[in-house]
Amino acid sequence: MTTGRSPSAGRGRSLWAVQTLCLLLLVWLALDGAQNLWVGLVFAALGALAGAWLAPGELYRWRPWRLPGFCLYFLRESLRGGIDVAWRALHPRLPIKPCFERFVLDLPAGLPRTLMVSTVSLLPGTLSVSIDDDGALRVHALMPGAFAGVPELQRRIHRLFSLDGRAGGS
């Protein structure tokens, strides 16, 4: 029985599964410590294997050494976004000017694009609305200036997946 995938695609999924296993195991250790390490290893392995097996399309490997920088950026922007929205909500004049903008994505479908759509909502004053048929992301913002962070987020996702200089799935 064949899966319809090339051998190189199988190696890519295997590497992706190993990366995911390591990440899930680190999360387990951070949350539970090492006393039940074997349980964490079993569930991390199951999660990584299920993800590698069930994920549709091409899996884009992320670069582990670039993950801490992306996580710090993500945490900083999430904190800035929370403070900004709270300040606007509590301000007596409610300083908002809601607007929408289409942002053309040059990330390939799959994990890079999913990460973009998921995290853009945590930038200060922005929210992902939809992806249009042509692949453009519709973003809602509390103020027109909030869109400034969207290109930077896309650039950081390009870097995380080593897609620099690559558009689309090519």
The predicted-structure confidence for 119-168, as pLDDT tens digits, reads as follows 998 888 899 999 988 889 999 998 888 888 899 999 999 999 888 654 44
Same domain, 79 and 107: yes
Do 90 and 69 belong together in one domain?
A: yes
Residue 99 counted as domain residue: yes
Least confident window among 12-21, 29-38, 98-107: 12-21
First to last CA, the chain: 29
Q: Are residues 72 and 145 in the same domain?
A: yes
- Per the model's pLDDT, the better-predicted residue between 143 and 109 turns out to be 143
165: helix, coil or strand?
coil
Whether residues 39 and 101 fall in one domain: no
Residues of the chain with pLDDT > 90: what percent?
A: 29
Domain count of the fold of the chain: 2
pTM beyond 0.75: no
pLDDT-derived band at 63, boundaries 50, 70, 90: confident
Give the residue-averaged pLDDT of 82-106. 90
> Would you place residue 6 in the very low, low, confident or very high pLDDT band (cuts 50, 70, 90)?
very low
Beta pairing partners, 126: 141
Lowest mean pLDDT among 5-14, 80-89, 130-139: 5-14
Q: Are residues 97 and 147 in the same domain?
A: yes
Asked if residue 59 is part of any domain, the answer here is no
User: Are 34 and 116 within one domain?
Assistant: no
- Percent of the chain that is helix, strand, coil (3-state, to 5): 60, 10, 30
Which of 51, 52, 70, 45 lies closest to 5, judged by CA?
52
Largest CA distance in the chain: 66
